[in-house]
Amino acid sequence: MTNTPGKIFNKVHFVEVDEDMQHQRIDNFLFHYFHKVPKTHVYKIIRKGEVRVNKKRIKPVYKLACGDLIRIPPIQTTEKTKHTPSTSLVKLIENSILFENNELLVVNKPSGLAVHGGSGINHGLIETLRFMFPDQKFLELVHRLDRDTSGCILIAKQRKALLSLHKQLRERESDKRYLALVCGTWNKGDKLVEAPLLKNTLKSGERMVRVDSSGKDCKSRFIVRTNYSDYCLFEIKIETGRTHQIRVHAQYLKHPIAGDSKYGSFACNQRLKAKGLNRLFLHASQITINMSFSNMGKQTFKAPLPESLEQVLKNIALD
């Protein structure tokens, strides 16, 4: 039996640990199981012995083993059942699935869709997918994309896939490529940017990132694809995965990404609005991973550039 967001468990029920659930701590299991229950409440029901494994009290650090029987007490999530994704959003996500098997989902995330809910957003990508796959016991984001960035994103359907992909990302064994249109002409050839990034939160709560020597190491390789009269289309390979990495590195090169309202050029963005650009021109075009967890070896997934961005390129080519 699995948890459904917003469902009220009015009686005790039990969950048997399978191979996809084993080796994780009981507190982490419960955080995922009850997506909207505060962590403090999870720790409280563990401390009071309301959660038991094999009829015994356990501590939050207890690691689950295959075959363990978890006692789940009556509990109510804080998410309301009336909040369900719109039919149009579900249809959009259905049409955006690039690949699916028993271990992995690859989605061409639309621009404007957050990867998860929060800050007034009831449904991001992951919440919508969990609604679409109610019987899927495990469904977790492997990595993230900014809300305004479109393109390839990975969602693990089994824990072994999640752990494998996290290791590949951490050890830089995967290959992630983006397409970005930047403001200004570029005649310096391909460019490797090695500039450390530091995150900062403003008083307003807005998150900003800047190049700073005290920040985390960061590498982006800018590969020229097409030069236009006032713009350049780059393919960008990121060798690290920091928040707003490509956007800040482009700003650092004094060639900000087109349509970037946070780190970009207001004048450039205004000119491009006349060319039909109404979003950030940043697209996760492809990702290469090792799917040994599915006995498939290396696989490359590609997300086509959205038609709206293709049209912008056609429009600026006419200048």
d(CA 143, CA 132): 20
Is 68 among the catalytic positions?
no
In contact, 258 and 234? CB cutoff 8 Å? no
The amino acid present at 79, given as its one-letter code, is E
* Among 18, 20, 68, 146, the one annotated catalytic: 146
Which are the catalytic amino acids? 146
